A and B are shown apart, each in its own frame.
Chain A
Amino acid sequence: SQTIHQWPATLVQPVGSPLSLECTVEGTSNPNLYWYRQAAGRGLQLLFYSVGIGQISSEVPQNLSASRPQDRQFILSSKKLLLSDSGFYLCAWSRGQGRRETQYFGPGTRLLVL
């Protein structure tokens, strides 16, 4: 069966520090991968998605970047965190090679920037 992991679960970082959140998927190949930010009243905001290694689509201009160094690994990064980067970050995957697929979400990472 397929599983999706995110770490860390919680992170407290000072303003201006770098960020690296990791997401990995097991039990499937060539998944589509997604990073979302979940905020109260704003729902799920798609940040990045990837349909293959090294292929990243950015949805919202911001202080964050994403990379996919391996087929089942998706990383969310920042060189210098802002206070506004605080939030709950969700990673998700869906089966590749097709649209209209169900998305499967990870447990999320709560980021607090102080």
Chain B
Amino acid sequence: AQRVTQPEKLLSVFKGAPVELKCNYSYSGSPELFWYVQYSRQRLQLLLRHISRESIKGFTADLNKGETSFHLKKPFAQEEDSAMYYCAHEGSGTYKYIFGTGTRLKVLA
């Protein structure tokens, strides 16, 4: 079955420290992967997606097909990065999307 795994429910880092939110997927073929973020009292929204290869708010994510991973990274965490982060990919041959269970990032002052 297609699955997205985010092993950490909670990740706490200090301001200025590097952060890496892990995401592993099971998908045969070339998936399109997404990272969504939900800040406190805000809507869930797209942070970045693999095909865009952008850096958004200092975050990047690289698709590693060998390890089937799409980890989200930022070299220097900021307090405003505290949020809930979800990794997702589209379901093979369907219009649905598979989400991970999410990782709550807390950036400590």
Contacts and interface: CB of A to CB of B under 8 A. Distances in A.
A100 B32 contact: yes
B9 A106 contact: no
Contacts, number: 53
Given A43-B100, A100-B32, A32 B95 contact: yes
Nearest to B46: A102
Nearest to A97: B95
A16 to B, nearest CB: 31
A24 B20 CA distance: 36
Interface residues of B, number: 23
Interface residues of A, number: 25
Contact of B96 (A43, A46, A102): A46
B69 interface: no
Nearest to B9: A41
B54 to A, nearest CB: 12
Given A43-B86, A44-B86, A107 B97 contact: no
Interface string A77-114: 00000000000001010100001101111111000000
Interface of B: 6, 9, 32, 34, 36, 43-46, 49, 51, 86, 88, 90, 94-102
Given A44-B99, A104-B46, 15 more contacts: A34-B96, A34-B97, A36-B99, A43-B6, A43-B99, A43-B101, A44-B44, A46-B99, A51-B95, A57-B96, A94-B95, A99-B94, A100-B51, A102-B46, A103-B36
